[in-house]
Chains A and B, each alone.
Chain A
Amino acid sequence: MPTLMRRGAVAAAAALVTALAAACAPGSSGDKPAGKAPAAVSTDVAKAGNVTLTVWDQEVQGGLKEQIEKLNAQFQATYPNVKINRVSRSFSDLQKTLRLALSGSNPPDVVEANQGYASMAQFVKAGMLLPLDPYDQVYGWKKRYPKGLLDLNSVTDDGKLIGSGKLYGVSLNGEIVGLYYNKEKLQKLGIQPPKTWAEFDQALATAKGKGEVPIAFGNVEKLPAMQLYGILQDGLADKEAVRRLVFGSGGSWTDGPNVQAAQKLADWSKKGYFTKNANSIKWDDTPVNFAKGEGVFMFGGTWWAPDLNDRMKEKVGFMLPPASQAGAPVATMGGESLPWSITAKSKHADVAAAYINFITSPKAMDVSVETGNLPVLPAPSRQPSAALMREVSAAWGELSRNDGTTPYLDYATPTFTDAFGGPLQELVAGRRSPEEAMKAAQDDYTAFQNKK
């Protein structure tokens, strides 16, 4: 009798396989929206009738949350016929759920779609996002924003090239990865904030010699080492070369300066300049440890500034990474916060565009400053009050003038965090040579370029 049952199971399995062969392939249900461009743009939100706008954002941390709540309230007060249905998630949760939400038949209207080949470029290729160019003709974002920033949010229709093609999003905040330092400790060690890499190396050696942790560093997630590597790379390689490399239009990860950057990272680790057991410390714990006094320096994004300001007050300073020579222009990773995009299936695209314009208007930049954030464009009538925020703002201004932002390295391929971040963990642990780590990066990069 068991054989009988088994035969039945086999028959059922065979039937299933046949049914499957007949069923349609995933994603081919013909629901790819034909990149529809609105024929006529209506900016009259009041005339749109009662509209509920569903917005997915990742503004969950202190000042960021306050900022978007304020802006949403102002928008609804201006247009009482519009109700904003806000859905907020942490950065990584949003990354993981957005894909499913966009491929569904009823996606949200406005979403924060991350830049890079893993997110925005794939969404564009699949026709999930609405090109904003027709709206730009009305709202004039291209006049308001520097080209470099809009390039980050632009993709060609086939999703193959970032930095050209159509515009798919507008950002509200600026962000850069820079150098935080503990003023109290620097004073005690008798060193000045380093202006050049040579001075910085000197400072690290001094700190180590006096029994301090020179650089606070936590690297469970693999991404932190990629940021640190990126800063070193920006110090050694030409910024144009880095941009071309990340956006896939030339260069190789095994090029000389890129390997040298990995060598420097390995050297620092070998000399014990990092928090001990960095690979077992969470990224989010790095600023917490730094605020507690573990670490003289810390590389990190400006998104940590409001929190560090609360914890450390006058003790913390922020500056751009050191320059190759005194006074030379500096490049570092950064750009703008996640862009606000309109989904291709949104039923209220005009209202969505008006919303995006509202939350990126000069007035919104004032709100950004008020809530302790770094606005992507200069705020017309507000100045940050906290000393740290003023330093952040000055660094951002200097970088904007020099056109010194380079893209985050994880934009390079959808699998880069694993494919390069993993080897970098091994590099930090002294288990892999710089050449091997860079070859691993190049292998993943080549595979993606060939597939694109």
Chain B
Amino acid sequence: MTTAARHEGPGSRREAPDARAARRPGGRNGGRPPGEARGIGWLYVLPALLVYGGFLLWPLVRGAQFSLYHWDGLGTATWAGVSNYTSTWSDPALRGAFGHLLVLVVFYSVLPCCIAFVLVGAMSRTKIRGLAFFRTVLFLPQVIAMVAVAVAWRWVYSADGPVNTVLGGLHALGLPDWRRGWLGDFTFALPAVGVVGTWVGIGLALVLFLAGVQKIPRELYEAARIDGAGPVREFIAVTLPALRRELAVALTLTTIMAIRNFDLIYMATEGGPGNATKVPAYEVYNRTFNTGEVGLGCAIGVTLAVLAFAVTAGIGRLVEGRDA
């Protein structure tokens, strides 16, 4: 899922300068940029445009259209207006799903970035041997398919899995018995899924931040140290501001991962127990394919897409400043 997100990022940024160049006045060919005629450019992008339009834009448009109908996926649809959108908010189960999404954003996005910052803060002061190795290991969760991650963590959390084994050991030492079926527990299922997201997200944030730190001139650190800055002060005054762009990227990618989080939920809990781990992305699938409420499923999907766009734009502004 993240690969797709990563493709989107640079792609959309590349468009902007092109558009600006096209509209730039002047140039010898009567206001046209030099080189081949403009029309020919469309020919080059046409194949990609067709694929993109056919497999992405058209389904998106149809999805938006379906969201305005009550449809069971089989018979004739009836016009619904915006009622699917209103039930996205009035249905307590769906409202709950959006609430769970908020919790998961903390686990998927905020926590990994915070933890990665602490790690980077420590790493930027000392030279670590075999950094490339650690980087690879920490990045690994990003590379593994989410389905495999979910299967592995199902076992980790299972009744006789490692987590409960350790807790059982602690219990034997006199601590209270904390063992439980984590993914089937109404209180702990959502945080348990969240921890998996944190585990996946740390690597990405850390690799981004480490790359950013290497760009910071050593002189800045030396200057800070001469001015008497301790490790905390140094981090706040030098490292953090320099990593603003990386932070924006990390937050955007991980938040989108949280919003699109379907495979982990589907494999690990199917939204259960009860509705405890239902998230909107799972409900899109559930309503469309399981319960035959295609219109409602599409409405949730569109809402999620809008939310993803809003969050992306918001994070850009917040972290990178107004001109982003």
Residues of A participating in the B interface, judged by any CB pair closer than 8 Å: 1, 4-5, 16, 20, 23, 25-28, 32, 95-96, 99-100, 102-103, 118, 122-123, 125-128, 219-222, 276-281, 414-415, 417-418, 422-423, 425-426, 429, 431
Interface size on B, residues (CB 8 A): 42
Partner of A103, one of B74, B185, B272, B273: B74
Partner of B74, one of A27, A276, A418: A27
Contact (Cβ within 8 A) B73 A99: yes
Compute how far the CA of A279 lies from the CA of B189 in the bound complex, rounded to whole angstroms: 11
Compute how far the CA of A5 lies from the CA of B62 in the bound complex, rounded to whole angstroms: 24
Using CB atoms, name the residue of chain A closest to B291. A415
Known: A20-B61, A277-B185, A280-B182. A418 touches B289 (CB 8 A): no
Using CB atoms, name the residue of chain A closest to B79. A25
B93 contacts across to A, CB distance below 8 A: 418
CB distance from A252 to the nearest CB of B (A): 22
A-B contact list, 7 entries, CB within 8 Å: A4-B23, A103-B73, A118-B292, A122-B75, A221-B270, A276-B181, A280-B183
Compute how far the CA of A220 lies from the CA of B181 in the bound complex, rounded to whole angstroms: 11
Known: A16-B61, A220-B270. A28 touches B73 (CB 8 A): no
B76 contacts across to A, CB distance below 8 A: 25, 27-28, 32
Using CB atoms, name the residue of chain A closest to B182. A280
CB distance from B313 to the nearest CB of A (A): 12
Stretch of B32-40, B63-71, B108-116, B217-225 contacting A (4+ beta carbons < 8 Å):
B63-71
Partner of A99, one of B78, B159, B270, B289: B289
Within 8 A of A (CB), among B249-291: 269-270, 272-275, 286, 289-291
Contact bitstring B92-130, A, C-beta under 8 A = 1, else 0: 010000000000000000000000000000000000000
Q: Which of B62, B75, B159 has the most CB of A within 10 A?
A: B75
Residues of B participating in the A interface, judged by any CB pair closer than 8 Å: 19-20, 23, 61-62, 64-66, 68-69, 71-79, 93, 157-159, 180-186, 269-270, 272-275, 286, 289-292, 294
Known: A278-B184, A280-B181. A27 touches B270 (CB 8 A): no
Contact (Cβ within 8 A) A418 B72: no
Contact (Cβ within 8 A) B273 A280: yes
Known: A20-B65, A278-B184. A123 touches B274 (CB 8 A): no
Contact (Cβ within 8 A) B186 A429: yes
Contact (Cβ within 8 A) B71 A27: yes
CB distance from A8 to the nearest CB of B (A): 9
B294 contacts across to A, CB distance below 8 A: 26
Partner of B69, one of A26, A220, A277, A425: A26
CB distance from B193 to the nearest CB of A (A): 12
